[in-house]
Structure 1
Amino acid sequence: MSQPVISTTQVLYPAQRYADARAAIRWLCEAFGFETQLVYDTPDGGVAHAQLTLNGAVLMLGSAREGGDYPARTPRALGGITGSIYVYVADPDAHCARARAAGARIAIEPRDNYGSREYAAYDCEDYWWSFGTYRP
């Protein structure tokens, strides 16, 4: 697997925990266009830590688990959204079509909003993602 170029300007690294982190990695790559950079396994077959990249930025993720030094539950387990991630993409309409084809549940169809083109979708475990042309 080739090592993508990582942004030297990124200073925030979102981290998510998934009930089935391996399936989430596959899904995020297929639906949203991420690439797997690395995956560290746990002794029980879970994912201790993984890094996915998109447009030079990094998303960290791993298996949801109770207790330990990073206890976490998914939005589905909690019964609601606890946050969201906004990702810059050059063509939100094409990105939305790719996500929809991979089974993403589109929450907000592509639209113009505050001078940006964007849409929002739930991923395979109900995390909320927004994609668009806005760049702060």
Structure 2
Amino acid sequence: MIPCLRYADPKAAIRFLTEAFGFVEKLVIPSPDGGVIHAELTYGAGETRGMVMVGGAERKFFDMHLPAEVRGVTDCLYVVVADTDAHCAKARAAGAEILEGPLDREYGSREYVARDPGGYLWDFGTYDPWKG
């Protein structure tokens, strides 16, 4: 599965996600006005690689709303990282709002939770559900 996130300023979101969380631009399709129509950002490699697609909020897609429009979020995105503390330090230095951690979970994962400038929640941790 590939989550699709919409941002009021997708260019700023892409910059933040790459600088703070370590995503890599795979594809960015610019709009004629200098914005972003569609972007694909990857993270990791092998079995733990993932992707998010990023777009702007100017065009309503079905009934999707930005977190700020509904004053909250109903879910978060989980990303497997090798070194939670180092990842958190990089995210904090890049301006991520750290909401929790790093801390050890009872199921053996070391995790932290951050909110990005678009209002989305991200949970980064060492637990890899593919490895059991």
1:129 aligns with 122
* TM-fit CA distance, 1:66: 4.3
User: 5 Å matches for 1:1-136?
Assistant: 12-56=1-45, 57-67=50-60, 69-70=61-62, 72-113=64-105, 114-136=107-129
TM-score by length of 1: 0.84
Residues 82-126 of structure 1: CA deviation (Å, up to 9, x unaligned): 321000000010000000001111011111111111110001111
SS at 1:24 equivalent: helix
Which is worse superposed, 102-111 or 57-66?
57-66
Percentage of matched positions with identical amino acids: 53
CA-atom RMSD, angstroms?
Answer: 1.5
Residues 32-89 of structure 1: CA deviation (Å, up to 9, x unaligned): 011111111234433221001110321111001343x555321122210132100000
In structure 2, the gaps of 5 or more residues are none
Count of residue pairs brought into register by the alignment: 124
TM-score by length of 2: 0.87
Letter paired with 2:108: G
